[in-house]
Structures are given as C-alpha cells and as structure tokens.
C-alpha cells in the first residue's frame, strides 16, 4: 500500500463514453470498492492508481490487454486496452476479478488475450410458441415478460464473457409486429402490441448495451395461431404440433416472407437468425427445403436491407420425412445449401454435439439422428463455419460446474472451421425459480441464478481456454461477491465442483441416449421411467471405446477385453464421490452452501450408480454361469442394498431445499412432479426383489420392479 495512503489506497478511473464502456467502468468501480480501494475524483492529482480504459482497434475484435507503469510503492498507471467495446469490457472484468481478490495492480499485467471462440452463445427457449407445451415451460411466461429478469440475466452473461443471446421459438413474429399485408396474424390490440414491442426493444437494447448480439431461432413451417385460425392454413400451429408435413401453400410462403421482413425492419436490434430445416418441413426433400428458405427468409433478409448473421442449421433428415435418419448424402446436400445460399452476412451451421446430451463425452460420437459425418467440414468449408450446440437435458436442479470437461471439449473440438459454441437446453427455461422451496432464506430470484457457475465458467473458458484454476477461483469469488476474509475459497471449491460435475458426464456416456427425453441423469430417468439395474445391464454406451456389460463379461470369461470396462466406470464414480466427500466442507451460512450440498448430492448419486453398475455386472455373470448364479445374485442384492443407503442420502440432502417440480421426462410415468423422495420406494423395491432372487434355488431372469 502506498506510503501516503495509510488507510485505504486510492484509485482514479478514466473510461470512454458508451453503454458497454459505462458498464465496464461500473463493474471495475464496484470491485475496487469491495477490494478496499477508495475512488478519487477526476480532478485529484495524486491517486495511488490511475486506471485508463482504452479502445485500441489494433488489438483486434474482443482482444484485451493489461499493462502497468510506475513503481510498486508510488503512483502507478494501469492501462486496460480492448480491441473494441467487448475487449474493453473483458479487460475491465479481468481487472475487477483480480482486484476484488486482493491482487496488487502489478499482478494484472500480461500478454494480450484473444477470444478462443468467436461465437459464445447462450440458448434460451421462449415460453411463447414454445417448441413443446409443458408445465415446465409455460410456467415461465410471467417471469419472461419481466424485463428485470432479462436485465439481470444479461448482466451476468456479460460478466461471464458471452457475446450472443439466442432466443428460440416456433414462431415469435406475431408478438413483435402486425404485418401490413396480413393484420389478422396478430390478435393483440394496439395497446398490447405496443407493450410487447417496448418489451422487445428494451430486451434487445440491454443486450447490446452489454456487448451481446441478439439472435432469433425458429423452426419451419409455422404461422401464428391467429393466422392459422383465420385462414385455416398450417393449422398444426394452433396447438404447436411440431412434427410432420408442412403447409406448402403460396399463402403461407408469402405470409412468412412478409412477417419476417416487417419484424426485421421494426427491430434493427436483431443481429442474427437461426433457420431450421426439419420439424414441419416434412413432404420436402432437402433441396426443396433449401429453396423454401431462400424464397422466404432469404427474401425477407434482402428486403430488410441489412445483412444478418445466419445460423443455417444442418438438415436433420435424410428424406422427405420431417425427421428421418441422416446419411452422408444428407450432409453433402446440407453443404451445398450453405455454399449456394444467397445470405450475404456471416454464415454459420449449428451441429448438435452428441445430440441432445452434450454434457456427456468431449468426443463427438453422435449428432442429430445419427453418427457423425465429416461431410460438412471435410474439406474445410470456405463459405461458412460450424458451431457446436452443447445441449443440457440432464440436470436442471443440481448445480453443475466442471472446468476440466469444458477444457477437454475445446481441446478436442476447436478446429479452424469451428466458430464457437451454443450452450443451453430444450427442456429447461432458466427464468422462474420453480425448484427451490419457497421458505428458503436465500432463495434465488431467478432459476439461472441457481446455475450461475454453469454460465460463468462455460463463458469464461470459451473466451480464454487457458484460464487457470486460480483465475476461475477469483471468478467464483467475484460471482458470489465473497468478502475479503474468504479470499482463496473459490480455488479451494473448484476440485469439489469439478469432481461432482464429472459424475453426470460419466453416467450419460455409459447409459447412452438419443433425443431429449431419453435421459435425465440427475433423476435417474429415461423416457420409460426410472433407470433400473436391468437398464444398466442393457445400456449401450455413447463412446464406442466403452464396453457395455454383456461385452465386458463375455470378455472377462475369455480373459480378453478391449475398451473401458464398466467396473472401471464404477470405480471412477466412486473415486469422484470420495474426492467430493474428502474436500467438501460444511458452511451453512456461506453463499456457497448450496454449491457444496449439491456437490454432495452428485457424490451420493455417483455412488448409487456405481453400485448399480456392479450389480448389473453380477447379474450378467449369474446369467452366463448357472453354477455360481446364487453367489452372483447375492452380490447383486448386497450392492443394491448399499444403493438404497446412497439414495436415502440423496433424499436427505435435497428434501429441505427442493420442492417437487415438473420435468418433461416424466411424461410416460404418470407422475406430474419430480423429487428424489418420491422414487425411494421403487429403489427399495428393486433391492428387495434382488434379495428375494438371491435366496431362491432357481433365480428367475431379472425384471423391473413394479
């Protein structure tokens, strides 16, 4: 601390004008205050630290650099340079996190940091004209009309270094405009429409003020419900029936062109469009789908008179069926559509990484409707770049943060033809907090705030994959606004969170999946219901280098296995759980208390799954070797009995914090809400059935408990 400031060091901040720069300066001022600094006015001649925020275009887009001049014990000048407004913001945020953590200004200097990914986008489905209709989606409608929610979310996304906000809806346009040619498409009165338009302008404008571009993603072919009723066209749009043949009438085509054109003209804040060649485009082959897009969206963008960033999503179908399997030919057609597109702005192509469950393996094993084909990226494209969609349909309640996975993912998949990432969910809208019990003393105002580290660490590592754990620890402390006496706790927490966050990834990879509802890891659910030991026994792992149980046992019998053995997966789950147990600590009054409790919950789920994997191995061995069947069934029964204890621990860790909440994966189970407590009887019944089986002279084949 400088000698002439015996109490608190002083700082003076100079920043250029502009909304993003103002936000950057505000974040830095807040961090200085929290870090023990006192701000001086602009006319003060002798602060300990002069901080200058400077836009330096020579650095390049979104690049930032920090330098320091002056002696450690005298007046210093800290220069935060950004290649543009976003680069300036990232320099200020890096400084804010470090100064909040008590680092000396000299420790902030370093080489320029360029963005590791040009596209860092969050995917958020809207509850209006949503892709599916379900309580878990529509309950968010009031919260999503609250601009305070969007401002809070966008501020946090900006702090986490995201630069795209993508909003997804089957057909949002009639909530934005009343098209002149088809006024019946919008059934809002003039006052309601004006209120909606003010809402959209405010939302889009706040995103721009925080350095985020706005993209609207839709599916095709849909119209507004009001237009469908009035003209009796595309009537599937009334109730959102999204799969099947589309209405190919000239009226629907002209309507689409008109309403999209008017929306783009009314909202110049819309920076990009996402276009989907599936859903209600049945009845068309991929060439015909591309032609329809050109006649509608292509014409609308040209009529709007400005280029937009277009994410032309890869075809999801290899035939005229709306959602048939993929082939290499399909990818070749998709490539031609992209290369021949009339869109003049930046062109992207989104691919679902490991289909709907991107939080699984960092290895690309699956895309939408089939195994991966390199037709879209080999040879490397010139006209467009790819973006990975890393979906999450596997946890909406338990908090998740696994930096090692995010780093590994980029190490394997950040090729020159990859522009970046989209991260988000189809089954969860992070708005209304419908998960926490209402009586919790520190209940999160919004659902996304329960997963702040999910967004913070993903975004930070997408900007700079080289960010080390010390910096991530400071990010945690800054995100949770921890006081000075808790400095260092963020880095201490990281190995706990990383171990816990790896557990669902291993489970998803081992169990395998396809579309959204085929797996919900935190609930041990598939579309058919609870994941029984028999489901573990018949699982086909996502990664072809992982062995399923039948193959592993057959290999054990001949002393030859090639691949990751299920028992090794179980051991890894137990080891991760042990790491969490050993490194976690109790601190019920800390802002991090729920992070720690959820980490323990993941650990208990990991131990439960490990027990079921080993029980499934024992049951498979019993089926193959009748002479030792009794012994193997007894082992399986003991393992499942242990599993009951682990499940009870899950219940104990969640029962006072979580209320039962709607989950789309429950649709075939007849249960309207999810909570681990509600499935304890089934867990106990499965263990009891295994115990009975182990005592019979002729054990029957395994069956699912009722």
The reply to whether 188 and 308 lie within a common domain is: yes
Nearest to 116 by CA among 407, 429, 332: 407
Q: Assess if residue 264 is contained within a domain.
A: yes
Q: Of 432, 447, 482, which marks where a domain is finished? A: 432
pLDDT for 369 equals 81
Cβ atoms within 10 Å, residue 72: 10
Inter-CA distances, 457 with 133, 157, 213, 461, 494, Å: 31, 11, 20, 6, 11
Which structure tokens are listed for 478?
Answer: 């800054």
Map tokens 């993903």 to a residue.
458
> pLDDT at position 509, please?
98
Same domain, 563 and 683: yes
The answer to whether residue 482 is domain-embedded is no
Q: Quickly tell me which residue has 């031609």 as its tokens.
A: 336
Let me know whether 151 and 102 are in one domain.
no
Q: Is residue 562 part of a domain?
A: yes
Q: Which tokens belong to 581?
A: 């147990």
**Three-class SS state of 112:** strand
687 shares a domain with 542: yes
Q: Of the residues 405, 432, 459, which one is the last residue of a structural domain?
A: 432
- Report the number of distinct structural domains present in the chain: 3
Please state at what angle helix 452-463 crosses helix 403-413, rounded to 10 degrees: 40
pLDDT of residue 139: 97
Q: Are 161 and 93 in contact (CB under 8 A)?
A: yes
Q: At what angle do helices 403-413 and 489-511 cross, to 10 degrees?
A: 60
Same structural domain, 203 and 288: yes
pLDDT of 706 reads 40
pLDDT for the residue 705: 44
Do 540 and 649 have their domain in common? yes
User: What pTM does this model have?
Assistant: 0.95
- 359 and 249 in a common domain: yes
- What DSSP string runs through 278-313? SSTTBTS-HHHHHHHHIIIIIHHHHHHTS--EEEEP
* pLDDT at residue number 333: 86
Residue 160 is part of a domain; what is its CATH number?
3.20.20.80
656 shares a domain with 533? yes
**Same domain, residue pair 610 and 684:** yes
Q: What is the pLDDT of residue 703?
A: 53
Do both 163 and 54 map to the same domain? Answer: no
* Rounded Cα gap, residues 365 and 386, in angstroms: 17
- Segments of the chain scoring below 70 in pLDDT: 1-6, 42-45, 316, 318, 323-324, 697-706
**79 and 102, same domain (yes or no):** yes
d(CA 674, CA 652) in angstroms, rounded, equals: 15
Q: What is the pLDDT of residue 419?
A: 98
Compute the Cα dihedral for 470, 409, 577, 593 and give only its sign. positive
Domain assignment of residue 487, yes or no:
no
Return the CATH number at 61.
3.30.379.10
- Which residues, including other chains, have CB under 8 Å from residue 380's CB and lie 6 or more apart? 415, 416, 417
What is the rounded CA–CA span in Å between residue 330 and residue 328? 5
Question: Residue 648 is part of which domain span?
Answer: 499-695
Residue 520 lies in a domain: yes
In a domain, 706, yes or no: no
- Is residue 368 in a domain? yes
State residue 192's pLDDT score. 98
Q: Identify the domain boundary among 78, 113, 148.
A: 113
User: Would you state the torsion angle of the CA atoms of residues 596, 597, 598, 603, taken in this order, to the nearest 10 degrees?
Assistant: 90
625 & 508 share domain = yes
Flag whether 418 is in a domain. Answer: yes
């Amino acid at each position: 601390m400088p000698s002439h400031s015996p109490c608190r060091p002083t700082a003076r901040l100079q920043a250029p004008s502009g909304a993003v720069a103002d936000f950057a300066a505000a974040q830095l001022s807040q961090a200085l205050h929290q870090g023990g600094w006192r701000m001086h006015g602009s006319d003060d001649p002798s602060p300990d630290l002069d901080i200058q925020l400077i836009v330096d275009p020579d650095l390049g887009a979104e690049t930032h650099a920090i330098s320091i001049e002056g002696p450690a014990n005298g007046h210093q000048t800290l220069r935060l340079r950004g290649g543009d407004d976003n680069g300036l913001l990232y320099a200020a945020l890096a400084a804010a996190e470090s100064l909040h953590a008590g680092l000396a200004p000299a420790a902030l200097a370093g080489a320029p940091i360029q963005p590791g990914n040009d596209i860092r986008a969050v995917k958020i489905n809207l509850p209006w004209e949503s892709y599916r209709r379900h309580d878990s989606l529509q309950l968010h409608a009031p919260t999503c009309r609250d601009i305070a929610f969007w401002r809070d979310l966008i501020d946090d996304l900006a702090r986490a270094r995201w630069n795209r906000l993508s909003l997804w809806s089957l057909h949002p346009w009639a909530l934005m405009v009343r098209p002149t040619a088809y006024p019946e498409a919008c059934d809002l009165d003039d006052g309601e429409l004006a209120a909606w338009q003010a809402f959209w302008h405010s939302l889009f404008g706040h995103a721009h003020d925080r350095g985020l571009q706005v993209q609207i993603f839709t599916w095709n072919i849909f119209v507004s419900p009001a237009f469908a009723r009035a003209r009796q066209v595309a009537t599937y749009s009334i109730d959102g029936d999204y799969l099947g043949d589309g209405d190919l009438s000239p009226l629907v085509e002209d309507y689409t062109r008109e309403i999209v054109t008017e929306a783009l003209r009314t909202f110049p804040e819309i920076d990009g469009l996402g276009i989907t060649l599936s859903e209600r485009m049945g009845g068309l082959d991929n060439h015909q789908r591309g032609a329809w897009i050109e006649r509608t969206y292509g014409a609308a963008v040209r009529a709007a008179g400005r280029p937009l960033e277009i994410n032309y999503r890869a075809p999801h179908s290899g035939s005229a069926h709306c959602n048939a399997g993929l082939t290499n030919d399909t990818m070749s057609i998709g490539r031609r559509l992209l290369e021949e597109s009339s869109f003049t702005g930046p062109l992207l192509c989104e691919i679902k990484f490991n289909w709907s469950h991107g939080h699984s393996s960092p290895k690309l094993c699956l895309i939408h409707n089939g195994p991966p084909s390199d037709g879209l990226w080999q040879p490397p494209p010139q006209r467009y770049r790819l973006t990975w969609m890393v979906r999450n349909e596997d946890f909406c309640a338990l908090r998740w943060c696994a930096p090692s996975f995010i780093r590994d993912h980029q190490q394997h998949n950040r090729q020159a033809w990859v522009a970046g990432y989209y991260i988000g969910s189809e089954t969860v809208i992070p708005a209304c907090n419908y998960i926490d019990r209402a009586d919790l003393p520190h209940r999160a105002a919004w659902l996304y705030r329960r997963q702040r580290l999910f967004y913070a660490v993903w975004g930070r590592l997408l900007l700079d994959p080289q960010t080390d754990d010390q910096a991530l620890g400071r990010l945690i402390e800054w995100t949770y606004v921890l006081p000075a006496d808790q400095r260092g706790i963020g880095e201490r927490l990281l190995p706990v969170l990383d171990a816990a966050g790896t557990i669902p990834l291993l489970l998803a990879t081992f169990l395998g999946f396809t579309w959204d509802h085929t797996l919900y890891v935190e609930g041990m659910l598939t579309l058919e219901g609870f994941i029984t030991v028999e489901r573990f026994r018949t699982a086909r792992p996502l990664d072809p280098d992982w062995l399923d149980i039948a193959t592993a046992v057959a290999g054990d019998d001949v002393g030859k296995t090639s691949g990751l053995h299920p028992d090794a997966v179980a051991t890894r789950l137990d080891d991760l759980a042990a790491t969490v147990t050993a490194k976690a600590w109790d601190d019920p009054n800390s802002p991090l208390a729920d992070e720690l409790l959820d980490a323990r919950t993941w650990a208990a789920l990991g131990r439960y799954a490990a027990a079921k994997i080993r029980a499934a191995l024992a049951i498979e061995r019993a089926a193959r070797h009748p002479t030792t069947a009794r012994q193997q069934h007894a082992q399986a029964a003991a393992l499942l009995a242990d599993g009951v204890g682990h499940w009870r621990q899950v219940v104990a860790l969640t029962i006072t914090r979580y209320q039962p909440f709607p989950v789309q994966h429950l649709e075939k189970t007849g249960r309207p809400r999810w909570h681990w407590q509600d499935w304890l009887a089934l867990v106990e019944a499965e263990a009891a059935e295994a115990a009975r089986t182990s005592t019979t002279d002729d054990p029957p084949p395994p069956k699912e408990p009722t």
